Structure 1
Amino acid sequence: MVLIIGSSQLRSALRMADVIKAVEEGFKEFSSKRAVMPPRCRIDVEGGAGAFLFMPAYLPRAGAIAVKEVSVHSGNRQARGLPTVRGVVILSDPKDGSPLAIIEGAALTAIRTGAAGAIAAKYLSNKDAEAVAIFGAGIQGRAQLEGLAEVRGIRKAWIVDPAEAAAKSLAEYAARTLGVDAEVCSDAEGACRRAGIIVTATTSRVPVIYGKWLDGGVHINGIGSHDPQSREIDSEAVLIAAREGKVVVDSYEACLSEAGDIIIPIKEGAIARADLHAEIGEVAAGAKRGRESELEVTLFKSVGISVQDAAAAMAAYQSVLRSGAGVEVELEDKVVI
């Protein structure tokens, strides 16, 4: 039987705490070279209608093998009223090849990325950090706030987003669901200076935070940018983290090829490859150090890697199976030929 898990089943049955635990173990497997993560495969649709991306991963210790398929059709929203980006994750049993689950990909991606930000904050932010500045009030801003609330006693949030309605909606959600005193903020610099943790989860191609806004002790989660020409964090901020704290990434290889937040400062000569302190999996495993003083400025840059999808997919499968929230279907004939 294969479990079909939609976004509503994920939200009702899957706890962020369980995903944080699973993704942390996945990061450890990845950084210790036990995980298998082949290169991403891209297929462009004829006529430029769209593209499909396929991202597989295998986590031996977790007993999870999964592939995420993501489609990107830029004309969907205007022409058809459909999402631009859609995805599914297929989870299988590595022991016998049985398909275990087919999971809606957008919601799972948001949750696992929120978990990654939480793991980074767990090891890199000050333990008494209570205030957060969230840049970007979309699904990822919400997931980042949910993750942070699991690992730190977040009491105050400033939501920075040019779309005031979205910012207000996230602030109301944070107050109602997480018990966080959240308010919409138009003063980006002021939000940064008041926060112990800063999250960038925007679609901006240019910096939204600057080094001159950073005070000692702050931690930054750079989440939104994931191509070589775009960045949310300026070079001065990255340099400050490299010199006065630590720059940590989810994957050296992925960030050096996809993350403008890292690539651009290296090209400008602000930092060097050697300034990347660690992968988060190395820090979580104790192979590299996390925060060492209250005054360090730390930066975690994530572009997202498929081991997160495999780890989160297994956590989702187990949670939904226990809750009975998903729909089971029989894909195969019972007669073995």
Structure 2
Amino acid sequence: MTETLFLESSDVDGLATPAEFVDAVRDAYRQRGEGAPAEPRTKLGNADPPGFLTTYAAILPDTGAMGGYMYTAGFGAEDAWFTTPIFDSESGEPLALLDGASMNPFKTGATGAVAADELAREDASSAAIIGSGAQARGQLRALATVRDLETVWVYSPTKEHREEFAGEMDRRLDGSVAAVASATAAIEGADIVVTATNASEPVFDGDALEEGTHVTAMGQYNPEKRELDAATIERAKYVPDLRDRAFQDAGSFLHALDEGVVDEDHVHAELGDVVAGNAPGRESDEEITVFDSGGTGIETVAGAYLLYEKATEAGLGETIDFAPGSQALTGE
């Protein structure tokens, strides 16, 4: 038997800071750039009841961990359930099983922050956030660890939601956070634009982006999801989390391909290649950059292992026993 740590959401909620997630995720993408294995998501859909099952995984040799997400959404519960197993990358033994829902905005936000650190201008001090949910909160909190944000404008279609978000973040961050009445108003003059939505149509006009803007789009994990228009993709240096994912489920990029405004060579590099120094990030103050974040096992394993280490130090969670295959199959 092998003792494995089981961590509930209440065990890991608030256990690590946004900056700690950013550091862990940055190192994970560095490992990916140096050859660590990772694959895009697999997604199995179900018609009745409607729902889907998703998995993705990665191995992080330097971290010493591997694993990923398996989660469901929809079905009879009409909700989402996130499980995160992590294993020792040398022995293969299970280390922990996490209820992964509460870490989701933080590990995803950390990925956006790592990309912004590589692709946004060094002097970037203003941001636009399109969206006002948990993912938008995670993106902004992580972004504030890599750039000194003086001004943030937030837009979402529901006035109450954007104002609540702005008030909460204004109290939490050093800079000023204010709600605005349109996406156009939000992106005007913004050095960094973050889209954290479930939109199926573009949320702003790409022709309105100013030169030098960096865009992080994190709601494009389905060919039908399309936060960015073809103009944004065409104008930008385009960096996805995983190259293969860009051609599998990155909705905005796939639409731009279909419209003929870009070709396959428009993918500049994976984020890991930029972090590892294999490909340049931003090369001028004038270029527009886009990071397309659809979710990978890279940040998932990095975030989960960070929480596992901190929970172990704090004595949190409970142990459960896993029988190795040799024992379970023979009964010995």
TM-score by length of 2: 0.90
Query: Secondary structure of 2:188's partner?
Result: helix
- For 2:204 and 2:160, locate their aligned partners in 1 and report how far apart those are by CA, in whole Å: 21
Instruction: Confirm or deny that 1:282 pairs with 2:273.
Output: yes
Q: CA deviation at 1:91?
A: 1.2
Give the corresponding residue for 2:300.
Answer: 309
- For 1:173 and 1:290, locate their aligned partners in 2 and report how far apart those are by CA, in whole Å: 32
**Residues 66-85 of structure 1: matches in 2 within 5 Å?**
66-77=67-78, 84-85=79-80
Instruction: Confirm or deny that 1:257 pairs with 2:252.
Output: no
CA contact (8 A) 1:90 1:99 kept: yes
Give the corresponding residue for 1:80.
Answer: none
Q: CA deviation at 1:248?
A: 1.0
Q: What does the per-residue CA deviation read over 1:206-247, in whole Å, with 9 as the maximum and x for residues that have no partner?
A: 000112211111110011121112211111111111xxxx21
- For 2:173 and 2:201, locate their aligned partners in 1 and report how far apart those are by CA, in whole Å: 30
Give the corresponding residue for 1:165.
Answer: 160
Number of residues of Structure 1 aligned to a counterpart in Structure 2:
324
Distance 1:39 1:203, change over 3 A: closer
Instruction: Confirm or deny that 1:268 pairs with 2:259.
Output: yes
CA contact (8 A) 1:64 1:93 kept: yes
Distance 1:227 1:9, change over 3 A: same
- For 2:167 and 2:10, locate their aligned partners in 1 and report how far apart those are by CA, in whole Å: 20
* Long gaps (5+) in structure 2: none
Aligned Cα root-mean-square deviation (Å) = 2.1
Distance 1:151 1:91, change over 3 A: same
Give the corresponding residue for 1:145.
Answer: 140
**Residues 13-92 of structure 1: matches in 2 within 5 Å?**
13-33=15-35, 35-38=36-39, 40-42=41-43, 47-48=48-49, 50-77=51-78, 84-92=79-87
Give the corresponding residue for 2:318.
Answer: 328
Query: Secondary structure of 2:268's partner?
Result: strand
- For 1:70 and 1:266, locate their aligned partners in 2 and report how far apart those are by CA, in whole Å: 29
Distance 1:227 1:218, change over 3 A: same
Q: What does the per-residue CA deviation read over 1:289-324, in whole Å, with 9 as the maximum and x for residues that have no partner?
A: 111222211111111111221111111111222233
CA contact (8 A) 2:41 2:296 kept: no
Give the corresponding residue for 1:81.
Answer: none
Q: CA deviation at 1:39?
A: 6.0
- For 1:74 and 1:136, locate their aligned partners in 2 and report how far apart those are by CA, in whole Å: 25
- 135-144 or 207-216: which moved more? 207-216
CA contact (8 A) 1:66 1:313 kept: no
- For 2:51 and 2:57, locate their aligned partners in 1 and report how far apart those are by CA, in whole Å: 20
- 178-187 or 37-46: which moved more? 37-46
Q: CA deviation at 1:40?
A: 4.2
CA contact (8 A) 2:49 2:75 kept: no
CA contact (8 A) 2:223 2:249 kept: yes
Q: CA deviation at 1:182?
A: 1.0
Instruction: Confirm or deny that 1:179 pairs with 2:174.
Output: yes
**Fraction of identical pairs, as percent:** 30
Q: CA deviation at 1:45?
A: 6.1
Q: CA deviation at 1:251?
A: 0.8
- For 1:332 and 1:283, locate their aligned partners in 2 and report how far apart those are by CA, in whole Å: 39
Q: What does the per-residue CA deviation read over 1:146-204, in whole Å, with 9 as the maximum and x for residues that have no partner?
A: 11001000121111101223222221221222233111111321211121100011011
More helix by percentage: 1
Distance 1:45 1:298, change over 3 A: closer
Instruction: Confirm or deny that 1:154 pairs with 2:155.
Output: no
- For 2:190 and 2:247, locate their aligned partners in 1 and report how far apart those are by CA, in whole Å: 28
* Long gaps (5+) in structure 1: 78-83
CA contact (8 A) 2:33 2:275 kept: no
Q: CA deviation at 1:115?
A: 0.6
- 160-169 or 119-128: which moved more? 160-169
The amino acid that maps onto 2:275 is A
- For 2:242 and 2:19, locate their aligned partners in 1 and report how far apart those are by CA, in whole Å: 22
Distance 1:67 1:86, change over 3 A: same
Q: 1:124 aligns with which of 89, 112, 119?
A: 119
Instruction: Confirm or deny that 1:188 pairs with 2:183.
Output: yes
TM-score by length of 1: 0.89
Give the corresponding residue for 1:319.
Answer: 310
The amino acid that maps onto 2:246 is C
Query: Secondary structure of 2:321's partner?
Result: coil
Distance 1:250 1:86, change over 3 A: same
